[in-house]
Structure 1
Amino acid sequence: MASASVLSAWPPTLTDAQIHALTVQATTYALSNGLLYLPPAERQPPIPESAIHAPLALFPSPFPRSIFEHAKRIQRTYNVLYSRIAQHEQFLDRVMGTENGVGKVDDFIGQLWTGWKQLRDEGLVQPLHLGLFRSDYLLHAPSGESPSLKQVEFNTISSSFGALSERTAAMHRYLNASTQYYNASSHLKTDSFPENDTVAGLVEGLATAHKAYNNEKAYILFVVQPGERNIFDQRPLEYKLLEKYSIHVIRQTFDELALSATLDPETRVLRISCATDLHTDGSVEISTVYFRAGYAPVEYQTPAHYHTRFLLERSRAIKCPSIALQLAGGKKVQEVLTRSGVLEGFLSDETKWGKAAFRKEEVDELRESFMGMWGLDVGQDMITPDHDALESGEENFGVRKARELAPSLVLKPQREGGGNNVYKESIPAFLDTLPPKDRQAWIAMELIVPPSGASNYLIRAGGDNQRAVKAEVVSELGIFGWALFGDESTDMIEKEVGWLVRTKGKESNEGGVATGFSVLDSVLLVDG
């Protein structure tokens, strides 16, 4: 297979002087074009005064053209799938709730679900949900087989690196245009660098939600983390909203919102007070709440933080995501979808979905992207939680199978943001310490086996690491999409809108860029 031979021989050979020259070109391009992070600091100053380039791959990474197009195509089906999951309250109650679901043993999930349930009982006033999604994949090629596409996870909250991935793709196109990479490989040709317009696509989703809210003077609220280093991935969305759609953005943390956010008791209009003289009453109405924070327990240090999240959810503003859509992105949902008939029930049940049902081959495409998964709490039938085993402390089928297959597995909790998983040889010792009552919060997933032999030059800012370091690598592809849905009187709108590549050293299990494991990369399409 041509693509496999390219991977095993990547990157092309260059002299040290050529690598150094490309590194200077890459880092100065990054610094000139906003491919940046704020530098590490115990506390960021109120006014940023310096920046560093984001971690980068010097070469784009080869990826089979047909599989890349396949990943883009099935994003449309994934958009619909997760939109339907978010609207299926009974399913989410059963899988993520506090009675028999994950929320029973996971306090963070339980708090979110309990608050959502209370708000549902009160009556939610905004039927629309906005999702800015990212589906992440690795190539799977066990025992030298031809690569296939396998999903790592589906992100429904704070799906990041859209802007920086677009800039990374532009950087690689620039390096090729300016240096031709010293004619080191025939694969480095213009039509092998796909366009990446992720920012415009994500912003279109936000602008569509804003328009549906039907108040052109309203603002979009970005809920952000304090001391955010990844601000240069967020600001381009803000700039594009203003430049193309004349939509203003206000950025606030949960702590700031606890003091600034108010709801009209009758209309549930969300207003945010802000320190600006542009508004005579000192506050702005919010059309859409875009969460770039709120996905991790550490962000909810006090009950006041949950109170603020629920106040936003209670409002008339469109949430991106709603709590329902955030819960839909849970790892337990991903595992349940692999069970017989569950995926088909969401996509191909003509009784429920009518003309919107998907053809069998479209559903099969998604199922083929799944790896094997099961819950640590499951019994022999792999479907029903083995509550007797949980109560007695005995090891049930799910745990025993995880022990037996540990070298080929990863254990995942219901967490986002990287650094939360347990891999391979660490699994048995972890299971020794995992209380039986907590098993329900974890899933076991068969590890994806990437093609071997690919390398790249990785560049990180600071000290000796500033030079390009060659390493054997694994590259993860993410496909972005968005969907606006939920109002029975309005047709769902959804699109596939862009992509990213994150590349890490092969010895690293985790893949997060913000958490320091990966570098930003882009796709080089290869045939075969």
Structure 2
Amino acid sequence: MSALTTLPEWPPSLTPEQHEHLILLSSTYALSHGFTLLPPSSSQPPTSATAAPLSLIPTPFPRTLYNLAIELQPLYNALYARITLDWDFLDKVMGGSVSKVDSFQGELWRGWKSIRDDLVQPLQLGLFRSDYLLHHDDTENSKEGISIKQVEFNTIAASFGALSQRAGEMHRYLQKATNGYFSVSPHLTNPSNFPQNEPLRNLAAGLAEGWKAYGKKEAVILFVVQEGERNVFDQKWLEYELLESHGIPVIRHTFSELSKLAKIDPETKNLLLPSPLEPSVEAREVAVIYYRSAYTPDDYPTSKEWETRIHLEKSKAIKCPSMALQLSGAKKIQQVLSEPGILEDFLLNPSRPDVGFGEGAGDLTQDDIDKLRLTWIGLFPMDNSELGKKAYLQAINNSEKYVLKPQREGGGNNIYRENIPKFLKDLENQNHQPSSTPKEEDDEPDKKEGYILMELIEPPKGLKNWLVKGGENKARLADIVSELGVYGISLFGGNDNNQNHIINKTAGTLLRTKGRESDEGGVAIGISSIDSPLLVD
């Protein structure tokens, strides 16, 4: 499905006085409403905060494509839930060459494999985010116009839900406080162009559903967090929402702290956490483990962190995500899904487990599958299959059309365009370096098999916006690219005793906007701004 062939000229003209007034209103709104980040090298406890990077004006986004992305989210939720439950598929895809050449994914897969037959909690909780870019196919004879193409699907630590809600609220406030942004554009005077968006409320409700399914009112939710987290307010808003709207307390710990504190009852397998602040108080039982870390090798500096992750996995607590669900979000899974028949098998095969297809959904049809597949761009393996060999030649000879992706989350890991050929040559040189431990020749795949090749998505050109970097009192006018994320909630995997706990919902959106000159994003480091969509027809 495609939409407009062009977007409106943007942003509309502002007088210097109007511009200055919007800077003042947006910065004070952000600081007073917790639309904030901690500054770099913040003291503990923190004594200051900066406004999160933001856009002064919402960015135009085709209404039909925004609605399409929301419509498809339950299908994506169901797809990744079923992938997670298919151990043979995960073994084939992630337990093969990827686990041998990618040490991080290898540790994750081998750790999960070592304990999966003894897991005591069948329910799994996913707080997902499916990310898209607008794609404009301006090649000769193309009639596609502007469409959406999926960048990736996140199954762990899908962040910025709370701050995204604050961004939309800020833009609606500016619209009301300035008579529709001083009526400089008809798009800005219509309140219906500013979509209601509540991922904070919805994601917290998803965590609360996991807590309810666990079934113990005295239990808590554990947030596993990184040391020195700057994006702490995004997490804290979830914590406050859980306590104030659902009466559920949250405990925050790092892997380092959990290695000393976390205990599992040998009989019940309950996860118990004593309080370092109240040694005499009975340890709290954990209903849900929510990971806002554990997605990057930096979160596992030693074997102790892997031991802690596996220890938590063995408990009765519901994981968000489980190790299997984290594996399902790998880029290699995304690539294999694009192969013929794989998607149909996961979503149309009646023998697959019931994971729900969303409220009011009937039986899926091939039309549903085709609509989902239209959101994909070309994805190719980097192995020694015939398709992989063709992809390799394309990567070498036409690198300007591609991005090379490793099995990583968190941004900053991809190799773009003209950098690809040299990178692949360097990987080939590594293949021929002698190993310290002799292996059979065919036991060690090529290093490039840890990557996938993806066609570059080509966002529409000519769109600009005013972006304000956190902590600054000025905005820069930039040629922009905006990435739309759609949040989803999936509670699945129960046995016959808890099938009534199946949940599949869409949970809101995130729009991150950056200057076109940057391939990578990153809100905390100021490359991307948290934005909100202005729906246009």
**Whole-Å Cα distance in 1 between the matches of residues 427 and 67 of structure 2?**
41
**Is the contact made by 2:470 and 2:526 (CA closer than 8 Å) also made in structure 1?**
no
Match of 2:38 in 1: 38
User: Which among 43, 49, 52 is matched to residue 51 of structure 1?
Assistant: 49
Q: Deviations over 1:427-452 (max 9, x none)?
A: 11111101352111100000111111
Q: How does 1:456-475 map to 2 (within 5 A)?
A: 456-462=465-471, 465-475=472-482
Flag the 1:433–1:381 CA change in 2: closer, same or farther, 3 A. closer
Match of 2:268 in 1: 267
Q: How does 1:69-468 map to 2 (within 5 A)?
A: 69-97=67-95, 100-121=96-117, 123-143=118-138, 145-179=144-178, 180-188=180-188, 189-277=190-278, 280-352=280-352, 358-382=364-388, 396-435=389-428, 436=431, 437-462=446-471, 465-468=472-475
Q: How does 1:493-512 map to 2 (within 5 A)?
A: 493-512=503-522
**Is the contact made by 2:36 and 2:51 (CA closer than 8 Å) also made in structure 1?**
yes
Helix, strand or coil: the match of 1:412? strand
- Calculate percent identity across the aligned residue pairs: 49
Q: CA deviation at 1:168?
A: 0.3
Helix, strand or coil: the match of 2:46? coil
Helix, strand or coil: the match of 1:157? coil
**Whole-Å Cα distance in 2 between the matches of residues 423 and 381 of structure 1?**
20
Flag the 1:423–1:496 CA change in 2: closer, same or farther, 3 A. same
Q: Deviations over 1:412-469 (max 9, x none)?
A: 000000000000111111111013521111000001111111000010134xx53110
Helix, strand or coil: the match of 1:143? coil
**Whole-Å Cα distance in 1 between the matches of residues 316 and 100 of structure 2?**
29
**Is the contact made by 2:4 and 2:145 (CA closer than 8 Å) also made in structure 1?**
no
**Whole-Å Cα distance in 2 between the matches of residues 362 and 153 of structure 1?**
19
Q: CA deviation at 1:45?
A: 2.5
Aligned-residue Cα RMSD (Å) equals 1.7
Q: CA deviation at 1:15?
A: 1.5
1:478 aligns with 2:463: no
Q: Deviations over 1:263-294 (max 9, x none)?
A: 111211101121344x8534211000000000
Flag the 1:280–1:211 CA change in 2: closer, same or farther, 3 A. farther
Q: Deviations over 1:325-353 (max 9, x none)?
A: 00000000000000011111101123546
Greater alpha carbon shift after TM alignment, 286-295 vs 145-154: 145-154
**Is the contact made by 1:412 and 1:421 (CA closer than 8 Å) also made in structure 2?**
yes
**Is the contact made by 2:224 and 2:290 (CA closer than 8 Å) also made in structure 1?**
yes
Match of 1:24 in 2: 24
**Is the contact made by 2:98 and 2:105 (CA closer than 8 Å) also made in structure 1?**
yes
Q: Deviations over 1:190-210 (max 9, x none)?
A: 110000111111011101110
**Is the contact made by 1:94 and 1:101 (CA closer than 8 Å) also made in structure 2?**
no
Q: CA deviation at 1:515?
A: 4.2
- TM-score of the superposition, structure 1-length normalised? 0.93
**Whole-Å Cα distance in 1 between the matches of residues 330 and 458 of structure 2?**
23
**Is the contact made by 1:288 and 1:320 (CA closer than 8 Å) also made in structure 2?**
yes
Helix, strand or coil: the match of 2:186? coil
Q: CA deviation at 1:378?
A: 3.9
**Whole-Å Cα distance in 2 between the matches of residues 117 and 265 of structure 1?**
21
Q: CA deviation at 1:75?
A: 0.2
Letter in 1 for 2:73: Q
Q: Deviations over 1:7-44 (max 9, x none)?
A: 4x110011122111111111111001000000011xx4
Helix, strand or coil: the match of 1:63? strand
Helix, strand or coil: the match of 1:151? strand
**Whole-Å Cα distance in 1 between the matches of residues 520 and 128 of structure 2?**
20
Q: CA deviation at 1:5?
A: 4.2
**Whole-Å Cα distance in 2 between the matches of residues 37 and 87 of structure 1?**
37
Q: CA deviation at 1:399?
A: 1.8
Letter in 1 for 2:288: T
Structure 2: which 5+ runs fail to align? 358-362, 432-445
**Whole-Å Cα distance in 2 between the matches of residues 347 and 294 of structure 1?**
29
Q: CA deviation at 1:6?
A: 3.7
Letter in 1 for 2:197: N
Flag the 1:177–1:244 CA change in 2: closer, same or farther, 3 A. same
**Is the contact made by 1:197 and 1:497 (CA closer than 8 Å) also made in structure 2?**
yes
**Is the contact made by 1:380 and 1:397 (CA closer than 8 Å) also made in structure 2?**
yes
Match of 2:360 in 1: none
**Is the contact made by 2:467 and 2:477 (CA closer than 8 Å) also made in structure 1?**
yes
Q: Deviations over 1:124-167 (max 9, x none)?
A: 00011000000000111121751111100000000000000000
Helix, strand or coil: the match of 2:122? coil
